[in-house]
Amino acid sequence: MIKVEDLHKSFEDLEVLRGLNTVFEKGKTNLIIGQSGSGKTVFLKCLLGLFTPDKGTILYNGKAYQNFSKNEKRELSKQMGMVFQGGALFDSMTVEENVVFPLKMFTKMTKGEMKNRVQEVLDRVNLIDTNDKFPSEISGGMQKRVSIARAIVNKPNFLFCDEPNSGLDPRTASVIDNLIQEITHENDITTVINTHDMNSVFEIGENIVYLENGLKTWEGNKDTIYKTDNQKLTDFVYASNLFQKVRIAQREEL
């Protein structure tokens, strides 16, 4: 579980996060949504420890990050998996080398054990016969799956995803969404997903946090988001014609 209390982050004169409070529960797919510039990526980078907050506390399983010793911070990093927007695969390494990388760096597994574990996670993300291929030789959807495989190979307790669907067709995007949700439930981990994709919101949004100008202005889930009276959230969710039609249809049903 991750608990965020009064989180502030500024860059020079620009105040990006202005006192965020929220809880990301274990075993759930937690989504952060909001317009571009609302502070989603900065928030995610604060959670990952890539940015140091100016004020506020982030508690991982009940312990505040600022109270962690250096060794504990290092241990926490090993418990985190991250799926970057562009995949962030090491392009000089093959798919297998990318996935085995965290194991090589942080475990004392034998080569055989590592190979088995890599094959296990590649099978889990449905990647077959791609072990010796380089990231440039596989599709965007496959790159995302390699990125997920690399993120979960070390059996993390926290999984973070920055717009995992961007640049993917709706079908592949849905596969990726479901894969992340299944992995979350199977391993009972805390998953935080930063997304713009409304399909993801309605498919896997077990806990949704809506950010607006660095503040949380709404929190709920895929079932309650229909009934919100937050006008800005409604405008954001139903910005596309398709979702407007869905909304009209739902209202007519009601």
Q: How far is the CB of 62 from another protein (least distance, A)?
A: 21
Is 91 a binder of another protein (CB under 8 A)?
yes
Contact 230, 211 (CB under 8 A): no
Is 8 a binder of another protein (CB under 8 A)?
no
Q: Which amino acid is located at 175 in the chain? A: V
Strands 80-83 and 29-34: unpaired
CB atoms within 10 A of CB 135: 21
Contact 42, 51 (CB under 8 A): yes
Is 10 a binder of another protein (CB under 8 A)?
no
Interface with another protein (CB under 8 A), residue from 14, 52, 90, 245 = 90
Q: Which is nearer to another protein, 166 or 230 (CB)?
A: 166
Interface with another protein (CB under 8 A), residue from 52, 55, 64, 104 = 104
Is 1 a binder of another protein (CB under 8 A)?
no
Helix 111-124 / helix 140-152 crossing angle, nearest 10 deg: 130
Strands 158-162 and 80-83: parallel
Residue list 40-69, contact with another protein (CB under 8 A): 48-50
> What is the contact mask toward another protein in residues 129 to 168, using x (rule: CB under 8 A)?
-------------------------------x--------
Q: Which is nearer to another protein, 106 or 244 (CB)?
A: 106
Q: How far is the CB of 162 from another protein (least distance, A)?
A: 9
CA end-to-end span of the chain:
36
Q: How far is the CB of 93 from another protein (least distance, A)?
A: 10
Strands 14-24 and 2-11: antiparallel
Judged by CB under 8 A, which stretch of 9-17, 99-107, 181-189, 191-199 contacts another protein? 99-107
**How many CA atoms lie less than 13 Å away from 108 in the CB half-sphere?**
0
Contact 59, 65 (CB under 8 A): yes
Is 109 a binder of another protein (CB under 8 A)?
no
Q: Which is nearer to another protein, 78 or 115 (CB)?
A: 78
Measured CA to CA, the distance from residue 140 to residue 136 in angstroms comes to: 9
Interface with another protein (CB under 8 A), residue from 52, 61, 66, 77 = 77
- The region that residue 147 occupies, defined by phi over 0 for left and psi between -120 and 50 for alpha, beta otherwise, is alpha
Q: Name the residues that contact another protein, by CB under 8 A.
A: 48-50, 73-74, 76-78, 80, 82, 84-86, 88-91, 101-102, 104-106, 160
